[in-house]
Amino acid sequence: MKFRISALFATVLLPWTFVSAQSVGPPQWMKEVTRLPPGDNANLRPVKLAYTLAWNNRVNAGEFEISIVRNEGGKSRFIGDAKGKSTGFARLLWPYDFRARSIVDESSLRPITFQLVEKERNESSNYDIIFEDKRQIFTTTSKKDDEEARTATSRFSFDFGQDVLSSAFYLRSQELKQGEKITMLVTPFNRPYVARLQVIGREERKIKGRKYKTIKLDATIGKVNEDLTLKHYEKIKKTTLWVSNDEYRIPLELQSQISVGFVSARINDLNWLE
């Protein structure tokens, strides 16, 4: 099993090229992507968050933390830094470490750049993504011990792509009323994914001994294939997200129900930075 950031989640180490959407007409998922402007329903206050990963609520599998600050150089930007690793018995089976950085425009909540470095046993991978107005440019470098590094560059034409941080900001900014649906194209590595979320209710939830008022959302994830069709994962039966039902809309818990149980990420610590 793998414990990459957020969400979601695959790595491709060989060169690839997407088929142009214009040559065959846009697929249905492109028409469904939510294009509402950012809302004003969340206070995106700089914060440091820590999470733990678990398997079936019994086995500690990993940990990660995210720090979000405002740029001090005068430009209106959010800068997110994240790091994490597998832990305990999971680390014996699959040693994994990552670091990531995201830069997001504060006014539009659009991503500018995203960088990810991850290491699995004897292999490391670097992902660099530049978000332009109508396309994303990916550069992937992978290296195994005692081998030459391999670098591939690819492009994907789409005018409303998101990275991990900007997609979280965009989701939190929306009204999130009962039944509301939001669809986003999110790129956590070097391939885009379509994330469909629906608000299914408000509830009080106990997380690590503390009770929270939450907004509950169901999510489905599909990987965009080279021909722009979507690949859905039959082994992932259900994914649910809870965010705090307050002015901050902090992600509190994520659960993915799979064929042999579920994996979860739960908030462990929160510190405001301003």
CA distance 239 to 1: 16
pLDDT, position 59? 83
Residue 23, pLDDT > 70, answer no
Going from N- to C-terminal start, the domains of the chain cover 37-269
Q: What is the mean pLDDT of residues 81-90?
A: 94
pLDDT, position 74? 67
CA distances from 211 to 30, 93, 95, 157, 236 (A): 38, 33, 33, 43, 28
Instruction: List, in sequence order, every residue forming a beta bridge with 83; answer none if it has no partner.
Output: 65, 99
CA distances from 26 to 18, 66, 116, 227 (A): 13, 35, 29, 11
Cα within 13 Å of Cα(123), Cβ side: 9
- Total-model pTM: 0.87
Cα within 13 Å of Cα(170), Cβ side: 27
The mean predicted confidence, pLDDT, of the chain is 88
pLDDT tens digits for range 149-179? 999 999 999 999 999 999 999 999 999 999 9
Residue 46, pLDDT > 80, answer yes
Burial class from Cβ neighbours inside 10 Å (0-12, 13-18, 19+) for residue 237 reads exposed
pLDDT tens digits for range 205-251? 999 999 999 999 999 989 999 899 998 766 677 899 999 999 999 99
- 8 A C-beta contact, residue 124 and residue 13: no
